[in-house]
Every structure is written in C-alpha cells, then in structure tokens.
A and B are shown apart, each in its own frame.
Chain A
Amino acid sequence: DADVTQTPRNRITKTGKRIMLECSQTKGHDRMYWYRQDPGLGLRLIYYSFDVKDINKGEISDGYSVSRQAQAKFSLSLESAIPNQTALYFCATSSGLSGEQYFGPGTRLTVT
C-alpha cells in the first residue's frame, strides 16, 4: 500500500461549491504539507502542519482552509471553489529529523 494517499484522485466541481481533498499517511511523520501545482509555476505551498495543534499558512493560503484530524490525516478545503483554483494538488509528509518529503499521488481538481 502507498505510504501517502490522496482522495479523490480527480474531481470536477462547479464554481461556488465546497470541496474537501483528503490526505492520509502511514509513514508516522509529524509534518504534513499541501502544495498546488500550476503550469509554469512549479509547486507552491498552501498550508503546512507540524502536528495536530500546529497549522500554518503557506504562500498562497487565500481561499483555502485545512484540518489536521490526526497525526496521519490532513485535509484541504475549498469553501467556495472558483475556476482559478483549477490545479493539481499534492499532499506531502516529512519527518522532523530527516526532512525528506514524500508526496502523495496528487489530486487533479477542475472548477467549472
């Protein structure tokens, strides 16, 4: 089984809808991250969390919120989706010791 999983893998939604992207990990890592990938821009950090009670904004957090339900689960929500949130979203985890980041398979989100 994959160490970092994301659901759904693909999603099409309409403008104004609320949507949640979920991430789970079995690596036992404390740090979790949400990135967004856009063509020509690479990946940019949306939110990150060091543990259940420690959540921090990244460089492009506007329009997004997150929830760290447990050490292994980190969800990203779009409260009211808009078309420019159409992108590929990645969850990643890392151990505080090694710092190596491990990525999930990504979620392709399309907002129409």
Chain B
Amino acid sequence: AQTVTQSQPEMSVQEAETVTLSCTYDTSESDYYLFWYKQPPSRQMILVIRQEAYKQQNATENRFSVNFQKAAKSFSLKISDSQLGDAAMYFCAYRRSVGSSNTGKLIFGQGTTLQVKP
C-alpha cells in the first residue's frame, strides 16, 4: 500500500524568505502523480502544484516549486519570497496514474502547518 509522510508538523518562515516543506512517499508503482495542497484557515483545499512521475523536470508555479527525487521517493515544496497569505496547512498527496481501473483516490500526508512571520 502506498503511504505519504510529512515529518514536519510545523514550520515557520520570515516574510520574504524561502522555506522548504518535506514529503516522502512509498510506492511500488512507477507511474503516479504527486500534489501539494494548501489549506488556509478558510478550510478550503487549494491545489498548489502537481508533478507527474514520468516527468524529470521539476514543476514550478510562480513562487512555488518542487524538488522531485523519484529514486529517493522524496517530493519537497519550496516557497520563495514567502508572503503572509502563504500561512496555512500544507498537504502532500499521492495518486496512482489515472486509468480505467484506477480509483483516482488521493493518499495524503499528515500535513505541515506553515507560519509566516512579518
């Protein structure tokens, strides 16, 4: 069974600085997707970034980028130029590759609460 682990329950960063959130996963699959979701105090789950396992290039979305290390089964999120609005809980998630026999379900890590200090 696949598992996702976030070993940092809480992190803090100074506004305008850079922070990296860690995520490791375990799977025997070779094709899959990885995601980072943001959950602000509003509770809404917001997709931040996604990575396809077959792609070697790390995904980037504006100030958010990932370091995907497939062999190490590591998927960290880097937030550059941190802003107060980045304060939230961040979840790492795994999903098997989409296919007719696939449930499409997401497997989540425990979450990391990010505090941004002004």
* Chains A and B belong together in one complex: yes
- Closest residue to A97 on the B side, CB-wise? B98
B residues less than 8 Å from A56 (CB atoms) = 103
Q: Are B33 and A99 in contact (CB under 8 A)?
A: yes
Chain B binding surface, main DSSP class: loop
A residues less than 8 Å from B106 (CB atoms) = 33, 35, 43, 45, 92, 101
Interface size class of B (residues with CB under 8 A): 20 to 34
Q: Known contacts A40-B110, A42-B111; is A88 also within 8 Å of B47 by CB?
A: no
Tell me if B95 is interfacial: C-beta within 8 Å of chain A: yes
Query: Could you say which of B42, B43, B104, B109 contacts A99, with CB atoms under 8 Å apart?
Result: B104
- Closest residue to A40 on the B side, CB-wise? B110
Tell me if A74 is interfacial: C-beta within 8 Å of chain B: no
Chain B: minimal CB distance from A66 (Å):
14
Q: Are A96 and B108 in contact (CB under 8 A)?
A: no
Q: Are A103 and B44 in contact (CB under 8 A)?
A: yes
Tell me if A41 is interfacial: C-beta within 8 Å of chain B: yes
Number of interface residues of A (CB under 8 A): 26
Tell me if A73 is interfacial: C-beta within 8 Å of chain B: no
Q: Are B44 and A58 in contact (CB under 8 A)?
A: no
Tell me if A84 is interfacial: C-beta within 8 Å of chain B: no
A40–B7 CA distance with the chains assembled, in angstroms: 11
Chain A: minimal CB distance from B18 (Å):
25
Tell me if B45 is interfacial: C-beta within 8 Å of chain A: yes
- For B74-118 the 0/1 string (1 means CB < 8 A from A) is 000000000000000001000100100001111011110000000
Q: Are A99 and B111 in contact (CB under 8 A)?
A: no
A residues less than 8 Å from B105 (CB atoms) = 33, 45, 48, 58
Query: Could you say which of A44, A48, A90, A99 contacts B98, with CB atoms under 8 Å apart?
Result: A99
Residue from A33, A92, A98, A99 having most chain B Cβ neighbours under 10 A: A99
Tell me if A94 is interfacial: C-beta within 8 Å of chain B: yes
A103–B42 CA distance with the chains assembled, in angstroms: 13
Can you show 16 pairs from A to B with CB atoms below 8 A apart?
A40-B9, A42-B91, A42-B109, A43-B91, A48-B105, A56-B103, A58-B105, A88-B43, A94-B104, A99-B95, A99-B104, A101-B47, A101-B106, A103-B45, A105-B42, A105-B43
